[in-house]
Amino acid sequence: CTEDIRFLRRFIYNQEEYVYFDSDKGFFIPITEYGRPDADYWNRSPEILGSARAARERVCKHNYQIYKPAAIDRK
């Protein structure tokens, strides 16, 4: 079911994840103190936040039928 799709976008610097976007929560979440300024800025920006929220529809739902056989039906 495509309603169960979750989009995660991870940001990594120097092999360490510092912030990520979670479509279930709908905002950017800092992992390290280094990621806090970026997460705060992106969460205050309607354009950036709107684009990240729309990615679930634009990317995940569009590709769901392509990857479903390999990822879900394989069980």
Domain ranges for the chain:
2-71
pLDDT in the model for residue 44: 98
Task: Give the whole-angstrom CA distance, residue 27 versus residue 46.
Answer: 11
- DSSP output for 35-69: GHHHHHHHHH-HHHHHHHHHHIIIIIIHHHHHHHH
pLDDT in the model for residue 74: 57
Crossing angle for the helix pair 36-44 and 46-55, to the nearest 10 degrees: 90
Task: Give the whole-angstrom CA distance, residue 57 versus residue 46.
Answer: 17
Which CATH number, 1.10.1060.10, 3.10.320.10, 3.30.930.10, 3.10.105.10, labels domain 2-71?
A: 3.10.320.10
Confidence of residue 29 (pLDDT cuts 50, 70, 90): very high
Quick: pLDDT tens for 37-64.
Answer: 999 999 999 999 999 998 887 776 666 6
Tell me the average pLDDT of the chain.
85
Of residues 36 and 64, the one with the higher pLDDT is 36
pLDDT in the model for residue 12: 97
Taking residue 23's Cβ as centre, other Cβ atoms within 10 Å add up to 19
